[in-house]
Amino acid sequence: MDSASSRAASLRSALQRGIWLTIILTLLCAAAGGAFGWSRQRDARAESVILLNPLDGNPFSTSGRGDSLTNLETEAQLARGNTVAEQVQRRLGTSDGPEELLSGLGVNAPTNTQLLAFTYSHPDPAEAVRRAQAFAEEFLTFRESRARNLVDGQVSLLEAQIKEL
C-alpha cells in the first residue's frame, strides 16, 4: 500500500505543478495576444455602390427574355482589372502601382440586383473613401468607353452596308 500511496502523492504533486505552469503560460499568451491586437492598426473601410443601367431582360423589366442581362460577375472581374486600376492611379496621382491599389479593393455583386459594390480598405478613412469612389467612377468610364466602341463599330458596319446598297 505504501508504494500505491507514494505514487498517488507524486502524481498529485506533478499535477499541481502542471496546473500552475499551464495557468502561467495561458496568462502570458493571453497578454501577448492582447498587446498584439491592441497595437495592430485597423484599416478603415469605405463602400461605393453603382447601379448599372437595367437592360431588357432584367428581372425588374417587363420586356425581354432575360438573354441580354449583364453578367455582373464578369463586370466585377473587369472592375478588378489592371486597366481600371491604371486609370485610378492616374486620377488619384498616387505613387501606388495598380497591384497595390487593387490589394485594398473588393468588388461584389449582390444577388438579384444590377448593383456593383466597391469596397476599399485603407488605414486612412478619407483615402479609403477617395479610392472606393475613384474605382467606381473609373469603372463607369471604362464601361462607357467599351459601349461607345461597340456602338461605333456597329454604326461603321451599317454605314458600309448602306454605301454598298
Q: Per-residue pLDDT tens for 62-117?
A: 555 555 556 888 888 999 999 999 999 999 999 999 999 999 999 998 888 888 99
Measured in whole angstroms, the distance separating CA 58 from the mean position of its chain's CA atoms is 25
DSSP 8-state secondary structure symbol assigned to residue 10: H
Q: What pLDDT score does 60 carry? A: 53
* Beta strand extents in 4-159 (DSSP E only): 44-51, 105-108, 115-122
What pTM was estimated for this model as a whole? 0.66
pLDDT at 107: 95
The pLDDT score that the predictor gives to residue 17 is 72
Output the pLDDT for position 59: 54
> For 135-158, how does the pLDDT look when each residue is reduced to its tens digit (9 = 90+)?
999 999 998 898 898 889 999 999
**Which pLDDT score, from 0 to 100, does residue 141 have?**
94
Strands (E) across 2-156 are located at: 44-51, 105-108, 115-122
The pLDDT, as a whole number, for residue 36 is 77
pLDDT, one tens digit per residue, over 2-15 is 677 778 777 777 77
Question: What pLDDT is stored for residue 65 in this prediction?
Answer: 53
